[in-house]
Amino acid sequence: MKKLLLLLPVLITGFIFMTGQKSINNELKPVIYPEMMRMIPDGNYSLLPQKNDNRFSTEARIIKTPKEVYTIYPNFLVHPSFGTQSETPITRHPTNPLIMLASANTYRGATTFSTGVYVTTDGGLTWYGSDTLNNGTFNSGDPGPAIDKDGRFHMSYISTSGNIGMSYSTDNGIVWSANVNIPGSSASSDKNFTTTDDSPVSPYYGRVYTVFTEFGGTNYADVVMSYSTNSGVSWSNEAVVGNALGNNVNQGCDIRVGPNGEVYVVWANQSSVGGALIEDSLGFAKSTNGGVNWAVSRGNASNMNGIRDFNGTFLNGIRANGFPRIAVDRTTGPRSGWIYVTTSEKNIAPATDVSDVILHRSTDGGNTWTKKRVNQDAPGNGKYQYFGTVNVDEQGAVNVVYYDTRNTPTNDSAEVYVSRSFDGGETYNDILVSDHKFKPKSIPGLAAGYQGDYIGITSGNGALWPYWCDDYTGIYQATTAKVNINLTPLNNYNLSSPSAGARIVTYPNYTLNYNFNWDTSTATASYKWIFGNPTASVRKITIPSTLNAISFSSGQLDNILAGLGVAVGDSLVGQWDVWAFRNNVTLDSLKAANGPRAITLKRGVPVLSAFNLNTPAAGVRYETSAFNFTNINFNWSTSGPGVTYKWKFGSPSIAVVKLIRTSGLSGIDSSFSIPNNELDAALASAGVNPGDSLAGQWSVWAYNGFDSVKATQNNAITFKRKGKGDILVLYDSTNVNCRISRDSVMANLNNLSITYDLYNRKGVTATDAVSFRGYKKVMLLGEGSSVMSNKIKDSLKTYLQSGTGINKSKLIIISEDIGYQIDRSASPYYDSAFARSMCGYQYVADRPGVGGRGITGISINTNLTDSTYGPSSDVIKRSVSLPSSQTFNLYKYRLFADSMNSIGRVSATYNVAVMALDVESIRPANDVPYPFSVKRILNGLIKFVDEIPTGDDPENIATVPVKYSLSQNYPNPFNPSTKINYELPVSNYVTIKVYDLTGKEVITLISMKQDAGRYSVTLNGADLSSGMYFYKLTSGDYTETRRMILLK
């Protein structure tokens, strides 16, 4: 982390000038002009806390107007995130209103930008997506979403190189094509939008268009466009749509297609006055040949006085713009082809104060224009209405969404309104669609005043979908609400199926579906399905539906009946019916003409049938481990609908049950999965020790609530608990260098003949908790700022505290930031009690000084030198919180003799060795190049916690053991051979003999006098029978016995 902080200014500068570049190229290097409106980081990012109460209200609101009654449903976040979401466009499928594509600029601090993809395929009931566009790379935001006639998603954005990039998706936004930069787009392109020609009568049906402002090359300050004729696979060279005259800047472009394939583009024509940009007219262009040429292109189609402000004088200091947004009436109604453009303007009529939303309308294809004020609050009241975006729905109504401060006396907090017009923008009804306020402000870490530059709205299926961002939850998030706008009357309709007198039998957890269907009353109606007992008037069940059908699984309906108190085997005799609803005042509900219908709902008793075990087959063996998180899977055939199952394991046979588990999906699934580590824990609870096995049988029982039946088979199975290695090595798999350290440690522990297990501790934010009890030693490997999570630290504390005078806990930490992260008061992971009182070290500095990083052994590997090329290996020292007799200097820096790199601590119940470098950084010293640096250092640290002295031998192996030792054979169980290591502190006569379970000697492995030292002997059990054996070391007065298992 400390390196990131030090490099942050460099990273930010690198992002602005070279993002995405593999090499510096002056022609492609993006230049940030003051006119541009990108999400430029300012280097001061601080993520605000996010609230958990993301559901702003729970009740729909009803707003009545003379023409309509609107239902505004609760606001919700389309994709809750810990990053900010701003600039929120939304669009819908041209022929399927249930499919909508929304987006946002997404930001997670530093230079982590991308384009969000948020999708619904069920009319807004559920949403899925991501804060990143899944095309294999990041981008710099400015999303421009569109959906073409074939349902292919398109997205324009600023690529990491600064050019306008394009991607498309053929699977509703799951996977996107690789980035394609628009030909001719410079590295300083900005403010893009995309649309498609989805008019079947157009000669350019299916063409995709993208417009943007060019801030590089010969087209500087011009609006340009590119199009695709092959569904986004390739794009035409950028071509000028609107030339900027003199020092003017054309910016904030938007694009739509008319009913006959006309292409319309609008923008703000900005004059430069004293260095400030003034949006003083609306630019407009029209193409009738698919964007090849522009029959009309003029910068002064309609006057405007925009609100653009970069000086902090607008609302709460946010930056503002009056950029136009465009919509075209594509209905077959009387206003088909009318063009509507919204802007945000101030002071000059029809604007009345600091900021009003203005509608520019053309009824003749863009030749002439009129203007109307959209928001209907009191004129001249000084309130802010801004970022207006326009939509024309399927009924030809004009809908404009915008931020609005009208309801805040202090004028510093905004809500979201939609103004709706039925007469082509002459008059409006204002609808408050947000159910909360927020205070507009800059997004921390981005350009001054930035909270986004626009919002969005779409419509379909009888609803409006305004889409905006606010920080009510603590950070800016993309938010929406459904606004029901039903107008069509309800028509008579009939129930279809099931027929009168039907009888439905339900079973618990059974997936068979039962369907109820009826005619459509009107395309935008909603319905309620009801069941009553004994008649429909005595309602027992009411289920809402937005479709002219409802479906229950047998299990769902069984649960409903159970909730009504219906016992298994009993029935409810009654009637079902349907009511249709809409929001019209005159006629808001209508019952099915031929309802109700008689029906019987019965809770059936599941039938138990014979069934078979499938996998695993009989005779399979599994090895379990506390650190293996993969699943062990069992499955079998079904016994019948509604049946539940329990998996059982018994030893030595199924008659002696040891383990019982309910199958998947709360017992209804004919399969069962158990994590390997969970089974390991269960075997431990059953008394199985590490390294031992438990043989038995597994089977399954099926239940129906009254009776049970067992599977036909009992499959033999053996579970073996993996024996614990001498050392448990903790590493972070998410860090490449830490994986390198892991591999180096594994290789060197193998060279030292030390057994080990691995555990992926993950990064510093991981929340996995694990127990280390039972391990002789635990070794934690860090890498840079990835030292340990709080959960791992807590587990290490518990491990150390579990040690005893006889069986000490032993901890080795090798991590360059161990001091910086754990014992520096400004660190978020600060825990001086763990560092000083438990591990025995204190933090001094994050590097020893300028110069080399040579290290020299003091208490271990005395006077042997090695080095680290790590840039920030910490300086630590012995803790003053402990008696000096308990702490030791293990390694010092060669150039700074008073600066320590490694500290050891010896206590009554545990020992600790801490080394402030990363394993992958260890190298032999240049001037004294002893080989085997990692092996030497590891062995020294291990010997220290084992309280075994090391000398000055570069091979770093103690010359004479200080005590007798007989190691566990390896492997164990074995077939047919295994290795036994042992150590002798003195010269003496030695025997090692092997005995069977009856105590009978079966073989003598060693019988001779041996000098003090370390030895190994191999047992070949080819002539022995499977079973448990004991091996015994005798030397003088010393004896030690261990057990081993031969499995053939």
Least trusted range by pLDDT, from 28-37, 462-471, 790-799: 28-37
CA distances from 313 to 269, 307, 350, 406 (A): 22, 11, 22, 18
1013: CATH: 2.60.40.3080
Residues 1024-1030: contacts with CB under 8 Å, at least 24 apart: 1024/976, 1027/996, 1027/997, 1028/996, 1028/997, 1029/994, 1029/995, 1029/996, 1029/997, 1029/1002, 1030/994, 1030/995, 1030/996
Domain boundary residue, one of 457, 484, 511:
484
pLDDT classification of 648: cutoffs 50, 70, 90: very high
pLDDT value at 700 more than 70? yes
231: CATH: 2.120.10.10
Give yes or no for a contact between 221 and 248, defined as CB atoms under 8 angstroms apart: yes
The residues, any chain, with a CB within 8 Å of residue 325's CB and separated by 6 or more, are 254, 341, 342, 388, 389, 390, 454
Which tops the pLDDT comparison, 647 or 13?
647
631 and 713 inside one domain = yes
Q: Which two tokens stand for residue 527?
A: 């319905």
Amino acid at 924: P
- Inside any domain, residue 19: no
What mean pLDDT comes out for the span 935-959? 74
Give yes or no for a contact between 747 and 648, defined as CB atoms under 8 angstroms apart: no
703 and 750 inside one domain = no
The gap from C-alpha 317 to its chain's centroid, in whole angstroms, comes to 33
Per DSSP, the residues of 667-713 read GTSSEEEEEHHHHHHHHHHTTPPTT-EEEEEEEEEEE-SS-EEE-S-
What mean pLDDT comes out for the span 959-971? 80
d(CA 1031, CA 1003): 9
Closest CA to 144 of 213, 46, 98, 230: 213
Q: Where are the beta strands (DSSP E) in 879-1000?
A: 887-893, 900-906, 910-915, 922-924, 965-966, 977-984, 988-995
The predicted-structure confidence for 733-787, as pLDDT tens digits, reads as follows 999 999 999 999 999 999 898 999 999 999 999 988 788 988 999 999 999 999 9
Q: How many structural domains does the chain have?
A: 5
336 and 413 inside one domain = yes
DSSP, collapsed to helix, strand or coil, labels residue 11 as helix
Average pLDDT, the chain: 89
887 and 990 inside one domain = no
pLDDT classification of 488: cutoffs 50, 70, 90: low
The residues, any chain, with a CB within 8 Å of residue 206's CB and separated by 6 or more, are 148, 149, 150, 196, 197, 198, 229, 231
Angle, helix 736-751 to helix 933-945, in steps of 10 degrees: 70
Closest CA to 935 of 955, 950, 908: 955
Give yes or no for a contact between 65 and 72, defined as CB atoms under 8 angstroms apart: no
d(CA 754, CA 750): 6
d(CA 283, CA 280): 10
Question: Which DSSP state fits 834?
Answer: I
253 and 361 inside one domain = yes
pLDDT value at 348 more than 60? yes
The gap from C-alpha 219 to its chain's centroid, in whole angstroms, comes to 40
Give yes or no for a contact between 249 and 280, defined as CB atoms under 8 angstroms apart: no
Amino acid at 290: G
Give yes or no for a contact between 718 and 622, defined as CB atoms under 8 angstroms apart: yes
The gap from C-alpha 564 to its chain's centroid, in whole angstroms, comes to 40
d(CA 566, CA 569): 8
d(CA 144, CA 263): 17
620: CATH: 2.60.40.10
Radius of gyration, alpha carbons of the chain: 37
Question: Where do the H-state alpha helices sit in 334-443?
Answer: none
- Inside any domain, residue 536: yes
Which tops the pLDDT comparison, 11 or 157?
157
pLDDT classification of 927: cutoffs 50, 70, 90: confident
- Residues of the chain above pLDDT 70, percent: 91
The predicted-structure confidence for 108-146, as pLDDT tens digits, reads as follows 876 678 999 999 999 999 999 999 999 888 899 999 999
Closest CA to 262 of 203, 323, 192: 203
Find the farthest-apart pair of alpha carbons in the chain and give their distance in angstroms, rounded.
112
What mean pLDDT comes out for the span 831-860? 88
876 and 893 inside one domain = yes
Residue 1010 pLDDT: 86
Least trusted range by pLDDT, from 54-63, 342-351, 370-379, 720-729: 54-63
Q: Are β-strands 809-814 and 910-915 bridged in parallel, bridged antiparallel, or unpaired?
A: parallel
Of the chain, the end-to-end C-alpha distance in Å amounts to 52
- Inside any domain, residue 54: no
Question: Which DSSP state fits 665?
Answer: G
Closest CA to 83 of 359, 362, 469: 469
The predicted-structure confidence for 542-576, as pLDDT tens digits, reads as follows 998 878 999 999 989 999 999 999 999 999 999 99
pLDDT value at 380 more than 50? yes
Least trusted range by pLDDT, from 200-214, 348-362, 799-813, 1012-1026: 1012-1026
pLDDT classification of 966: cutoffs 50, 70, 90: very high
Residues 324-327: contacts with CB under 8 Å, at least 24 apart: 324/252, 324/254, 324/266, 324/267, 324/268, 324/282, 324/360, 325/254, 325/388, 325/389, 325/390, 325/454, 326/254, 326/255, 326/256, 326/264, 326/265, 326/266, 326/390, 327/256, 327/390, 327/391, 327/392, 327/398
Which tops the pLDDT comparison, 812 or 865?
812
pLDDT classification of 20: cutoffs 50, 70, 90: very low
Q: Which two tokens stand for residue 896?
A: 């700074």
Go through 844-876 and write b for each residue having 16 or more CB atoms within 10 A of its CB, e for each that does not: bbbbbeeebbbbbbbbbbeebbbbbebebbbbb
595 and 675 inside one domain = no
d(CA 898, CA 956): 24
Residue 950 pLDDT: 61
770: CATH: 3.40.50.880
- Inside any domain, residue 628: yes
Domain boundary residue, one of 667, 691, 721:
721
Strand-pairing partners, residue 1032, are 993, 1041
Q: Which two tokens stand for residue 257?
A: 């297609």
Q: Answer positive or negative: Cα dihedral of 759, 761, 767, 770.
A: positive
Q: Are β-strands 415-421 and 398-404 bridged in parallel, bridged antiparallel, or unpaired?
A: antiparallel
566: CATH: 2.60.40
- Residues of the chain above pLDDT 90, percent: 74
- Inside any domain, residue 769: yes
- Inside any domain, residue 958: no
Closest CA to 788 of 822, 759, 756: 822
427 and 534 inside one domain = no
Q: Which residue has the tokens 């004020």?
A: 373
d(CA 211, CA 264): 11
Go through 285-304 and write b for each residue having 16 or more CB atoms within 10 A of its CB, e for each that does not: bbbbebbeebeebbbebbeb
Domain boundary residue, one of 484, 507, 523:
484
904 and 992 inside one domain = no
Residue 849 pLDDT: 65
Amino acid at 952: D
Q: What is the 3-state secondary structure (H, E, C) of 421-472?
A: ECCCCCCCEEEECCCCCECCCCCCCCCCCCCCCCCEEEEECCEEEEEEEECC
What mean pLDDT comes out for the span 355-364? 98
Full domain range(s) for residue 634: 613-721
Residue 17 pLDDT: 29
Which tops the pLDDT comparison, 960 or 672?
672
d(CA 780, CA 834): 15
pLDDT classification of 486: cutoffs 50, 70, 90: low
Residue 57 pLDDT: 73
438 and 505 inside one domain = no
Go through 932-958 and write b for each residue having 16 or more CB atoms within 10 A of its CB, e for each that does not: bbbbbbbbbbbbbbbebebbeebebeb
pLDDT value at 326 more than 60? yes
467 and 511 inside one domain = no
Question: Where do the H-state alpha helices sit in 85-188?
Answer: none
pLDDT value at 525 more than 90? no
- Inside any domain, residue 32: no
d(CA 260, CA 980): 87
The predicted-structure confidence for 582-599, as pLDDT tens digits, reads as follows 754 445 789 999 999 999
What mean pLDDT comes out for the span 987-991? 91
Go through 777-802 and write b for each residue having 16 or more CB atoms within 10 A of its CB, e for each that does not: bbbbbbbbbbbbbebbbebbbebbee
Residue 929 pLDDT: 66
What mean pLDDT comes out for the span 1015-1024? 91
pLDDT classification of 829: cutoffs 50, 70, 90: very high
pLDDT classification of 1: cutoffs 50, 70, 90: very low
515 and 473 inside one domain = no
Which tops the pLDDT comparison, 666 or 791?
791
- Inside any domain, residue 636: yes
Give yes or no for a contact between 81 and 52, defined as CB atoms under 8 angstroms apart: no
Closest CA to 1021 of 1042, 1041, 1048, 992: 1048
The predicted-structure confidence for 880-919, as pLDDT tens digits, reads as follows 999 998 999 999 998 887 899 999 999 999 999 999 999 9
Give yes or no for a contact between 852 and 899, defined as CB atoms under 8 angstroms apart: no
What are the phi and psi torsion angles at 297 (to 5°)? -155, 105
pLDDT value at 10 more than 50? no
